[in-house]
Amino acid sequence: MTLLRFALAGLSLGSIAQASFSTNLNYRSPSNNHPDLGIAINKVHKRNVPSSPFKPEDLYFTHGVASGDPYPGSVILWTRVAPSNESSDSTVTVSGTAPLYDHDNEKYVSVSTAPVCVEWKVSPDEKMRRAVSHGTVWTSSDVDYTVKVEATGLKPYTTYYYQFSVCKSKNSSPIGRTKTTPKKNQKLKKEINLAIFSCSNYPQGFFNAYGNAARKDDADYFVHLGDYIYEHKEGGYGWGWEMDRIPQPADHNIKSLLDYRKRYASYRTDVDLLESHQKFPWITVWDDHEVENNIWKAGSSAMNNTEDSFLNAGGLSIDQVKANAVRAHFEWMPIRQVDMDDNLRIWRNFEIGNLFDLIMLDTRVYDRSITDLTANRGYLDSIRDEQSRSLMGPRQETWFYNQLKQSAQRRAKWRIVGQQILISDIDYEYDRPATPYNADAWDGYRANKNRTLETIIDNKIDNTIFLAGDTHAAYVSDLVYFTNTTNYNPLTGSGAIGVEFGGTGVTSPGPVAQNGTLEEGIVRSQIFVDKSKPLQWQDSYYRGYYELKIDYKRVVANFFGIPDIRSRNGKEIKLVTFEVRDGENRLRRNKEGEAIVGKAVGGALKNGEVDLEAAVVVDTMEKKR
C-alpha cells in the first residue's frame, strides 16, 4: 500500500501542469564527476506530497528575476519563489555515511514536503501576448526554492521578455528582459556594448554602478568578473550598519551552504542589482571571495587541508566550504552548465557573431597553484618562474590557448578575455619593496603568463584584449611580453601585442581605502604609472565600472567613476575614454601622444595631463541627462 501511495504521488506530481523537477537546472550537480553536489530528484519526487502544496497567496517572488549566459538560440532564466525571504536550511550538509545532500533522514535534516509549481514563458513583446518558449517546473526547499531553466527555440540577437508564475494563479513575477547573442560568424550591422563590473561588497556601499548602467540602457550584455559577493562577517571587511546594509549572516564568515545562500539573498536586496538583473542578461565568472579570500586548489588565505584548519573552521574542510560555495553559486546565479565533465568548471566561451569571442576564464577556484597567503611571499618569489605553476591548471590552459587560436582561425575580429586578475607588469614597490609585484596575479605565475603571451605571438593573433577586476582600482595598459628582445615604446605603444582594461570595484575599497581623499588617490595613481612601464592610466580613488563599445574597426572603452556610494544615487563621472583600432594591438594615441580619446578627468596618465576641473557629474536618475 505504501509503494502504491508513493507511485500515485509520483504520477500526480508529474501530471500537474506537466511540471518537472529535472528541467529546473538547480537540481543538477555543477559537475558530472561530482554527482553528490546535485540533488537526488527521485528522492525529492518520492517525499513531496502534491495534494498539500503551498497556496499561491502564501508564495512570493522574493528576489526578482534574472537571465544570463545567452546563446544564439537560448538563454538561462532565474527566479526564486518561496513562502519566505529567508533561505532554507533544509539542505545543510550531513556527516557520517549519509550522502552529502540527503534529505530523507529526519535525524539529520528537516525538509518541506510541499513543492512549488512554477510556470514560465518567453515572449517577443513586453505585454507577454505570445509565448515563443514556455514550460512548467517544480522547485522546493532542496534548492532554496530557486528556479533556473533554459529557454530554447529563440531567434539570434533578439530581445525577449519573460515572466514566471505560480501554477494556476495570478501570482506572477516582474517581467524581465533579455537578449540572445548573434549566430556564430554572423555579420553584424551595429556595435555590441558590454557593461563590465567586479568587486561588489554589500556593507561597503550601494551598488550605484549597476543602477547607472541599467538606467542608461546602452549595454547589450552585463559582464561580471567576480567578487559578486564577499564572505566576511559584518565588520570583517566593511561596516554596513550605518547604511542598513548588514550582510547575512552577520556574526561569522560564511562557510555552510545556508551561509552562502543567505549571503546571496542579502546582496539581491539591493534595488539596483535587482533592476540590472531584470533588464539585462549577465555573463559572469567568480573571483576568490565567492568562496574564500585568495582561494587556490588546496586552500585559501584563512584555510587549508590541515587538522588545525579543520578544527578552527568548526569541523569543515576547505573542500567542503568550496562545495558549499559552488552549490549556492549555481543555485543563485543565472549561469548554465557547459559540458560539466570536470570539477568546478565555470570557464567557457561566447561566440558573438564574427565580431568577437568572449572567453571567460577561472584563474582562481578551478586548479590554481598556491598563491599569496602573505606569510609565504618569500617562498612564492623563489618559485615564481617554476614551469609547473599555473593559474588555470593544465586542462583549462590548453582549452584557453585553443580558444585563442580557433577564434583567430575563424576570423573573429576581436578576442575579449574576461578574467579576474591583472596580466600586465605592475610595480608595487610602494606597498611591498621586498617583492614589488602582485604574487596573487599573473606576475606571480610568470611561466603561465609567458605561455599565454607566447601563444598570441607565435600564432600571430591580433586584436586581443584582456579584461580584469579584483584590484579595486582601474588600470589600463598596453599588453607587452617583456623579453631581452622586446622593443616596447611606452610613448607610442609600438612593440605591444594587445591591450588590458582593468576595472575598479563597484564598492570594494581601493589603494587609498574607503576614506581616502581624491588627492591621496592621485598621488598613488601617479606612482603606479611612473613605476609601471606598460601602464598608461591608473585611478586609485573612484569606485565604478567601464563599458566597451565593439565594432569591426575599433573597441572604445569608457571608464566611469561613482563619486558617492554611501547613499543610493545616480551620479557618475566619465573619467576617461580609450580606443583600440583593428590590427594596431595597442592603445590609440591622440595628437598630443596621450593614450586617450579627449580628456582624462581622473587618475593619472603616463604621458599627459589630467584635467580634474573638467569632471562633470551626471545624474542617471534625472530624465534628461
Q: What is the 3-state secondary structure (H, E, C) of 93-112?
A: CCCCCCCCCCCCCCCCCCCC
Residue where one domain finishes, among candidates 145, 179, 213 = 179
Which residue carries 550522502 as its cell?
99
Order of strands across the sheet with 116-123?
133-139, 116-123, 159-166, 176-179
298, 301, 307, 310: CA torsion to nearest 10: -100
Q: Is 36 helix (H, G, I), strand (E, B) or coil?
A: helix
Closest CA to 256 of 312, 322, 334: 322
Q: Are 469 and 209 in contact (CB under 8 A)?
A: no
Can you tell me the distance from the alpha carbon of 46 to that of 39, in angstroms, rounded to the nearest whole number?
Answer: 13
- The reply to whether 625 falls in a domain is no
Quick one: cell of 165?
A: 508564475
Which of 52, 140, 45 is CA-nearest to residue 88?
140
What is the pTM for the complete model shown? 0.93
Q: Which of 359, 355, 497, 351 is nearest to 417 (CA)?
A: 359
Task: Give the pLDDT of residue 86.
Answer: 84
Band (6; pLDDT cuts 50, 70, 90): very low
Residue 35's pLDDT is 65
User: How far is residue 440's CA from residue 430's CA, in Å, rounded to a whole number?
Assistant: 17
State how far the Cα of 296 lies from the Cα of 367, in Å rounded to an integer: 7
Same domain, 211 and 143: no
Position 615, amino acid:
A
Yes or no: say if 140 and 115 are a contact pair by the CB < 8 Å rule: yes
CA dihedral 34, 39, 45, 50 (to 10 degrees): -160
- Of the residues 179, 210, 242, which one is the last residue of a structural domain? 179
Tell me: pLDDT of 372 over 50. yes
pLDDT at residue 104 greater than cutoff 70: no
pLDDT at position 305 is 77
Evaluate whether residue 187 is within a structural domain. Answer: no
Residue 42 lies inside a defined structural domain of this protein: yes
| Unique residue bearing C-alpha cell 611606452 | 490
pLDDT for 48: 65
- Verify that 236 and 344 share a domain, yes or no: yes
3-state secondary structure of 177: strand
For the domain that residue 107 is a member of, what is the CATH number? 2.60.40.380
Cβ atoms of residues 573 and 561 within 8 Å: yes
Residue 97 confidence (pLDDT): 45
CA proximity to 587, closest of 420, 431, 466:
466
What is the mean predicted confidence (pLDDT) over 23-37? Answer: 71
pLDDT band of 110, cuts 50, 70, 90: low
Most confident of 90-104, 283-297, 340-354, 477-491: 283-297
438 close to 428: Cβ distance less than 8 angstroms? yes
The answer on 263 and 314 residing in a single domain is yes
Residue at a domain's end among 148, 179, 210: 179
**Same domain, residue pair 393 and 490:** yes
Could you tell me the pLDDT band of residue 90, with boundaries at 50, 70 and 90? low
- Indicate if the pLDDT at residue 11 is higher than 50: no
Domain membership of residue 251 (yes or no) is: yes
Structure confidence at residue 98 as a pLDDT band (50, 70, 90): very low
Mean pLDDT taken over the chain: 90
- Whether the per-residue pLDDT at 119 is higher than 60: the answer is yes
**Do 419 and 274 fall into the same domain?**
yes
pLDDT score, position 93: 46
- Determine the straight-line distance between the first and last CA of the chain, rounded to whole angstroms: 69
DSSP 430: T
Q: Are residues 96 and 135 in the same domain?
A: yes
- The size of the chain, in residues, is 625
What pLDDT, on the 0 to 100 scale, is given for residue 518? 96
Give the burial string for 565-603 (b: 16+ CB within 10 Å, else e).
Answer: beebbbbbbbbbbbbbeeebbbbbbeeeebbbbebbbbb
Q: b/e map of 408-417 (b: 16 or more CB within 10 Å)?
A: beeebbbbbb
Residue 308 is predicted with a pLDDT of 80
Q: Is there a contact between 483 and 606 (Cβ–Cβ < 8 Å)?
A: no
- For the cut 70, the answer to whether the pLDDT of residue 339 exceeds it is no
For residues 286 and 397, membership in a common domain is answered with: yes
pLDDT by residue (tens digit) across 427-476?
Answer: 999 988 999 999 999 999 999 999 999 999 999 999 999 999 999 999 99
User: Is residue 395 in some structural domain?
Assistant: yes
556527516: which residue's cell? 95
Half-sphere exposure of 555 (CA within 13 A, CB side): 27
Do both 437 and 409 map to the same domain?
yes
Range of the domain at 102: 2-179
312-318: Cβ within 8 A, 24+ apart: 313/255, 314/255, 316/255, 316/256, 318/292
Q: Say if 624 falls within a structural domain.
A: no
Question: Which H or E element spans position 50?
Answer: none
Instruction: Please tell me whether residues 20 and 143 are part of one structural domain.
Output: yes
565 alpha carbon, distance to own chain's centre: 20
pLDDT tens digits for range 165-182: 999 999 999 999 999 999
The DSSP bridge partners found for residue 194 are: 221, 548
pLDDT band at 109 (very low <50, low <70, confident <90, very high): very low
pLDDT of residue 316: 84
Range from 165-169, 304-308, 421-425 carrying the lowest mean pLDDT = 304-308
Q: Are residues 212 and 164 in the same domain?
A: no
The DSSP secondary structure of 275-331, one letter per residue, reads HHHHHSEEEE---STTTSTT-BTTB-SS-BSSHHHHHHTTS--HHHHHHHHHHHHHH
Residues 335-339, mean pLDDT to the nearest whole number: 77
Give the model confidence (pLDDT) of 243-296 as tens digits. 999 999 999 999 999 999 999 999 999 999 999 999 999 999 999 999 999 999
Residue 169 lies in a domain: yes
Q: Which residues have CB under 8 Å from 292's CB, separation 6+? A: 231, 300, 301, 302, 303, 318, 321, 322, 325
Question: 417 with 502: CB under 8 angstroms?
Answer: no
The radius of gyration computed from the CA coordinates of the chain, to the nearest angstrom, equals 24
Largest Cα separation within the chain, whole Å, is: 86
Q: Are 130 and 137 in contact (CB under 8 A)?
A: no
Tell me, yes or no, whether 186 lies in a domain: no
Contact at 8 Å (CB) between 394 and 369? no
| Domain count of the fold of the chain | 2
CB 286, CB 360: distance < 8 Å: no
Residues 222 and 156 in one domain: no
pLDDT by residue (tens digit) across 124-153? 999 999 999 999 999 998 899 999 999 999
By CB atoms closer than 10 A (0-12, 13-18, 19+), residue 315 is: exposed
Residue pair 157/47 in contact by the 8 Å Cβ criterion: no
- What proportion of the chain, given as a percentage, has pLDDT over 70? 89
Q: Which residues contact 518 (CB under 8 A, 6 or more apart)?
A: 541, 612
For the ranges 143-152, 302-311, 383-392, 409-418, which has the lowest average pLDDT? 302-311
- Which cell numbers hold the place of 183? 549566430
pLDDT digits (tens, 9 = 90+) for 44-73: 766 666 655 788 999 999 999 999 999 999
For residues 30 and 78, the model is more confident at: 78
pLDDT (0 to 100) of residue 394:
94
Residue 37 confidence class, pLDDT cut points 50, 70, 90 = low
CATH number where 387 lies = 3.60.21.70
Specify the DSSP class assigned to residue 18: G
User: What is the Cα–Cα distance from 131 to 294, expressed in whole angstroms?
Assistant: 45
Are both 376 and 399 inside the same structural domain? yes
Q: Are 244 and 206 in contact (CB under 8 A)?
A: no
Q: How many angstroms separate the Cα of 142 from the Cα of each of 48, 332, 551?
A: 11, 13, 44
**Tens of pLDDT, residues 562-619:** 999 999 999 999 999 999 999 999 999 999 999 999 999 999 999 999 999 999 999 9
pLDDT in tens, 173-213: 999 999 999 999 999 999 999 999 999 999 999 999 999 99
**Distance from CA of residue 67 to its chain's centroid?**
13
